[in-house]
Amino acid sequence: MKKKSPETTYPWKFASVGGTVRVNVQSGQDIAHLGELDRKLWTVLSCPTQGLEFDARTLALIDVDGDGRVRVDEVIKTAQWLTRILKDPDILLKEPSELAFDQFNTEDPDGARLQASARQILANLKLEKEAISLEDTADNVKIFADTKFNGDGIITPASAEAEADAKLIETIAGIASAVDRSGAAGVTADQIEAFYAACADYVAWKEAGTAEVFPYGDATADALAAVDAVKAKVADYFMRCRLVGFDAAIAGAVDVSVDKIAAIEGNLADAAPEIGLQPLAKPNAEGKLDLTTGLNPAWKGAMEAMAALVAPKKKSLTEADWNAILASFAPYTAWLGAKKGAEVEALGLDCIKAILKEDRKAALMELVEKDKAEEANALSIEEVDKLLRLAHNFYRFLNNYVVLSDFYAPDQKAVFQAGRLYIDQRSTDLCVKVAGPAPEISSLSGMYILYCACTSEKLGKSFNIAAVLTDGDVDGLRVGKNAVFYDREGNDYTAKVTAIVENPLSIRQAFWSPYKKVARLISDRIDKKAAEKNEKSMSGLTAATNSAADGKAPAAPFDIAKFAGIFAAIGMALGLVGAALAGVVAALKGITWWQVLIVIAVVMLIISGPSMFIAWRKLRKRDLGPVLNANGWAINANALVNTKFGKTLTSLAKFPKLTAVDAEARKKAARKRFWCWFCGIIIVAAVALWLFNVLAPIGIKSPLKCYNPDPVEECCEAPCEAEAEPQAELPAEETAE
């Protein structure tokens, strides 16, 4: 059927897909004119690029602005670019994995340019053929492996003709490098500039290190290290000396603690850290540190090494001497703080000076410019991969965006269907990856949804899914139930139900729902009463046991009267049940079997009818849209899932009919079925009888009471037996007649 959209002159074709009229994309011209399609007729207005079962690189190509969402404008631009580059846009419907050179539209400048780039790719790969495939463009490294210049602004040793240039590029890459399109390590213009600047800075810093900077000559670095090793301990010693000079009574408190040394157990040679906590030497009021005797054994070696480097002729040091030693390192430490070009230091000063003297920087920068000149060609080569990828995947994307037809196709799966969940003897293929449970939104779908957390320790992955059940019973489903999820690649995940959105699954389920609810209510009440009785009995038994153990009076003797009353109550209850059954039998006496069936059917319809009606309405309106909206989609039309289609999404377990069954088990099953049906019929009949008794006062007479066996007279003209007027007693003859 052809129909023109209100806002375009293009003759769009429409079809009913999933119970909704949608535009039908059937040709390359349809794709080319997507920009003319009214936005109100698009099934999807926006979708995320993450969490979809679709080629991620293709989605990234369509998502031009890179915001993680594909919008209508981006789809239109992609469609217009594709149909302009290709000579025959109808080829998109075939989802080709390769394009022949004669399929490029060379009348378009971009088409001609991409055809030339495609030929260049095959030349780089040393292939001779008249078509290029996705496999040919998939690996950039292979395409540019033998190229000197590839337009990325990175040069490698292979880019240089002079051996000196190649060696210098290799040297710079050893310090800072970038990966070239060919896969090799290379350098950029910025890295070349930074290398030469670092070399110049390092040489200048080195030359600033005059003799005045090194107070101890070549041993200055070692001397500074030795001083730093004992600096804190020496400062501690001189502070103790100042305290002793301040007050002699303090001497015992700042001296070596005999008690702490005595408390050390075991081999004292292994206790150097604890001994090292004691003062460096015995503090004195003069404030002198003897470098030859009286040093803490734990610090003796470090002090001797320091003294040999900075005070080889001194036998003792005052605090002033020590401060002078520290001050002598000031120029050296300032020079160290001004160090630059450390990244090239490993090359050695002589090598760095040689590089600066040779000055091949200009030659390397010229190579970079030659590489950048090929940028347009290189980008065209990458654009060929874009063309092939879109040609192969774009039509399928449209079927999941403009039309949503893949979801309803029996041999396809939509891009949002993440895999299959197995739970409670069924499987469902309608599983959507979600950020987390969103029952408040998904409840609008009218679907029965299980939110599950899926985890795979083997793959190190975890995510959440919304699994939609469309068939079967729900009695065994609950939060916390474990299941197994398989993704589209066959990987298995442990799934755990975290939330449930309850809605009807079928009319059959809705029919039995009221009875199951009553059965659960009765079962819960029985369990509750049984638990209360058990608790009461156990309490009485415990109390009696405790009383007997404490020597108290025994429990009351057996009271035959009480138990006689209990038995009488039980007998009365049984009598009432028997009377009720007799009443039902008496009420049914004289009516035909089909009237009984009608009554039972009416009663069951009254009980189950509302539930079935509500289920019927919800099943007609089941919509996947709210589920997708909760996951970031902007759905613009209904995505209905009717009962027939729902049965294809959820598969129930099917068991063969067994011929060899245990005879005793078969008898038990038969007895169970008999009593279930018997009790059910009795209950329904009793409800029917009660219902007619309730309706009788308002003029609706029970067919059970008004039944007249005389076929000539009508029931409604004669009073019912129970309601007839009292009459005078007839003579015996008339009574006999």
Kindly report the pTM of this predicted structure.
0.63
Q: Flag whether 473 is in a domain.
A: no
DSSP 8-state class, residue 555 = P
Q: Flag whether 109 is in a domain.
A: yes
pLDDT given at position 546? 67
3 state DSSP class of 695: helix
pLDDT given at position 199? 95
Backbone angles phi, psi at 35, to 5 degrees: -65, -20
Q: Cα–Cα distance between 612 and 504 in angstroms, integer?
A: 9
Who's near 127: CB < 8 A, 6+ residues apart?
Answer: 136
Q: Which two tokens stand for residue 517?
A: 């609810």
Give me the amino acid identity at 647.
K
| Residue 561 CB neighbour total at 10 angstroms | 7
| DSSP letters for 410-478 | TT---TT--EEEE-SSEEES-EEEESS--HHHHGGGT-EEEEEEEEETTTTEEEEEEEEE-SS--TT--
Instruction: Judge contact between 643 and 619, C-beta under 8 A.
Output: yes
Q: Flag whether 561 is in a domain.
A: no
Q: Cα–Cα distance between 721 and 347 in angstroms, integer?
A: 122
Instruction: Judge contact between 299 and 232, C-beta under 8 A.
Output: no
Number of domains into which the chain is organized: 3
Pair (322, 356) in one structural domain: no
Pair (19, 100) in one structural domain: yes
| DSSP letters for 204-272 | HHHHT--GGG-TTGGGHHHHHHHHHHHHHHHHHHHHHHHHHHH-GGGHHHHS--HHHHHH--S-GGG-H
Q: Flag whether 353 is in a domain.
A: yes
Residue finishing a domain among 372, 391, 425: 372
Residues with pLDDT less than 70, the chain: 1-8, 440-443, 505-524, 527, 529-530, 540-541, 544-620, 657-662, 680, 683-737
Pair (282, 325) in one structural domain: yes
Pair (24, 60) in one structural domain: yes
Give me the amino acid identity at 94.
K
Pair (199, 237) in one structural domain: no
3 state DSSP class of 517: helix
pLDDT given at position 532? 72
Q: Cα–Cα distance between 171 and 310 in angstroms, integer?
A: 40
Pair (200, 255) in one structural domain: no
Q: Flag whether 62 is in a domain.
A: yes
CA 155 to chain centre: 42
Q: Flag whether 627 is in a domain.
A: no
Backbone angles phi, psi at 518, to 5 degrees: -65, -40
Q: Flag whether 118 is in a domain.
A: no
Q: Cα–Cα distance between 267 and 270 in angstroms, integer?
A: 6
Q: Which two tokens stand for residue 615?
A: 């289920």
Summarised one tens digit per residue, pLDDT across range 446-479 is: 888 999 999 999 999 999 999 999 888 777 789 9
DSSP 8-state class, residue 64 = T
Q: Flag whether 92 is in a domain.
A: yes
Instruction: Judge contact between 465 and 432, C-beta under 8 A.
Output: yes
Strands (E), 552-711: 634-635, 650-652
Pair (178, 242) in one structural domain: no
Residue with tokens 């793959």: 459
Residue finishing a domain among 310, 337, 364: 337
| Residue 188 CB neighbour total at 10 angstroms | 19
Pair (87, 202) in one structural domain: no
Pair (274, 317) in one structural domain: yes
pLDDT given at position 604? 62
Residue with tokens 């710079």: 172
pLDDT given at position 578? 58
pLDDT given at position 70? 95
User: In which domain, by residue range, is 224 found?
Assistant: 211-337
Pair (245, 330) in one structural domain: yes
Pair (321, 231) in one structural domain: yes
Pair (229, 333) in one structural domain: yes
Summarised one tens digit per residue, pLDDT across range 340-351 is: 999 999 999 999
